[in-house]
Amino acid sequence: MEVDRRGLLKAAVLLCGLLVVCSGREPSIKHHPSTTIYNSTLAKTLVEYASAIYTADLTQLFTWTCARCRDLVEGFEMIQIVVDVENCLQAYVGFASDINAVVVVFRGTQENSIQNWIEDLLWKQLDLDYPGMPEAMVHRGFYSAYHNTTLRDGVVNGIRKTRRLYGDVPIMITGHSMGGAMASFCALDLVANYGFDGVRLMTFGQPRIGNAAFASYFKRYLPHAIRVTHAHDIVPHLPPYFTFFPQKTYHHFPREVWVHNVGLGSLVYSVEQICDDSGEDPTCSRSVSGNSVLDHITYLGVSMHAEAPSSCRIIGNHATLRYEMDLRGNVIVMSRRRQHGLSDEQRHSVQ
Ligand SMILES: *[C@@H]1O[C@H](CO)[C@@H](O)[C@H](O)[C@H]1NC(C)=O
Ligand SMILES: *[C@@H]1O[C@H](CO)[C@@H](O)[C@H](O)[C@H]1NC(C)=O
């Protein structure tokens, strides 16, 4: 009798680990992983924020009137868009009242051919020692895209502005693809170097960014980080992981959540599989071949790619947006001229 019960319980726990929607009401399962580790509702919100940054027109993005912003219009206040024209990088910072958090989003690659960008990923070397973390190595290009451009200062200033206005609310960092790599470096930087509290990370279809030593530091600083992967998306498989030489190759930080379809015929349904805390769970996306670009550009049913092929240039209505340029004239930080819905005092502190 006891044994049977335990067996059933075990099956319930396994199921709960595999399926996000779990109605198991067994009192001894107080914190099953699906709700303590991964919040599916939050993922569906953040993926829309991550998608909005692919909007070509910055005025639409700033005023939150873009097509991709539609579902989230209510309760989002854009604080700052950071554009690094020279390196074709972009991020935005705002306050989302629905989840009561600062939302920070990094944009993925804008290169005309995503195929070329993906092919390049194969050859990315672990060529930079992560400062202050012995043995930790990362890819210099990914690291620099956040640390060595205008994005870092712009984002940190944006977070400080938002918290001055809305209090010490949590900071949600997100991004898709290359934007996920930058989001990861940002989240780690905010915790390890700036000492911010309440930092949370959820990325979509990001590549690997460092080695196993780096991943274990990462896990220590951001124990609740989530990397969502999708079906056969090729990007999370890159740069490659070599099982025969794990210390010297790229290694994902935990925790992956692999979204994929299971079943046959008319019984196909989507599963959000919570993976183990190794970062390289062989039963998750690594159990299939990463051979799809299509699976890379759709996450949780949301389209995740640039509207226009070459949107590195600035598109927007210059009269409504305030630009600040750096000395080289190619880096711009923007903030709105008028902040509606804010008092004069608040408006003053935004600018
Ligand atoms: C998941 O996120 C949603 C919205 O972000 C929130 O309302 C809800 O309370 C969260 N659920 C858990 C179990 O934390
Ligand atoms: C950052 O940029 C400077 C100047 O371009 C360069 O000398 C330095 O090596 C870069 N740092 C990294 C980590 O790539």
Alpha carbon distance 54, 51 (integer Å): 6
Mutate to test the pocket of ligand 1, among 21, 31, 35, 42 (most ligand atoms within 8 A of CB): 42
> Rounded to the nearest 5°, which phi and psi values hold at 289?
-85, 140
Quote the domain boundaries for residue 224: 29-350
> Rounded to the nearest 5°, which phi and psi values hold at 139?
-85, 125
Residue 4 token pair? 């049977």
- Do 199 and 173 meet the contact criterion of CB atoms below 8 Å apart? yes
Q: How many angstroms is it from 36 CA to the middle of ligand 1?
A: 10
Nearest to residue 291, comparing CAs of 229, 252, 251, 237?
Answer: 237
Q: What is the CA radius of gyration of the chain?
A: 21
Q: Please compute, for residue 298, the number of CA atoms within 13 A of its CA located in the half-sphere on the CB side.
A: 7
* pLDDT score at 113: 72
Look at the chain and count its residues. 351
pLDDT top residue among 6 and 212: 212
Does residue 207 belong to any structural domain of this protein?
yes
Alpha carbon distance 135, 50 (integer Å): 32
* pLDDT score at 112: 64
Residue 93 token pair? 């910072």
Q: How confident is the model at residue 168 (pLDDT cuts 50, 70, 90)?
A: very high
Please tell me the total count of domains within the chain: 1
Q: What is the pLDDT of residues 270-302, one digit of tens each?
A: 999 999 999 999 999 999 999 999 999 999 999
Does residue 121 belong to any structural domain of this protein?
yes
Does residue 20 belong to any structural domain of this protein?
no
Q: Please compute, for residue 181, the number of CA atoms within 13 A of its CA located in the half-sphere on the CB side.
A: 27
Closest residue to atom 14 of ligand 2, CA basis: 144
Closest residue to atom 8 of ligand 2, CA basis: 148
Does residue 13 belong to any structural domain of this protein?
no
* pLDDT score at 71: 66
Contacts (Cβ under 8 Å, ≥6 apart) of 283: 273, 275, 276
Nearest ligand, measured from the Cα of 129: 2
Closest residue to atom 11 of ligand 1, CA basis: 39
Nearest ligand, measured from the Cα of 141: 2
Does residue 6 belong to any structural domain of this protein?
no
Q: Please compute, for residue 188, the number of CA atoms within 13 A of its CA located in the half-sphere on the CB side.
A: 24
Q: What is the pLDDT of residues 312-351, one digit of tens each?
A: 666 666 656 666 666 554 456 566 544 444 433 333 333 3
Does residue 230 belong to any structural domain of this protein?
yes
Closest residue to atom 1 of ligand 2, CA basis: 148
Q: What is the pLDDT of residues 19-73, one digit of tens each?
A: 333 333 333 334 445 557 899 999 999 999 999 998 888 888 888 888 888 766 5
pTM of the predicted protein model: 0.84
Average pLDDT of the residues of the chain = 82
Q: How many angstroms is it from 142 CA to the middle of ligand 2?
A: 12
Contacts (Cβ under 8 Å, ≥6 apart) of 182: 89, 91, 106, 142, 145, 146, 151, 175
Does residue 296 belong to any structural domain of this protein?
yes
Does residue 135 belong to any structural domain of this protein?
yes
CATH at 245: 3.40.50.1820
| Residue type present at position 32 | H
Mutate to test the pocket of ligand 2, among 127, 128, 148, 185 (most ligand atoms within 8 A of CB): 148
| Residue type present at position 207 | P
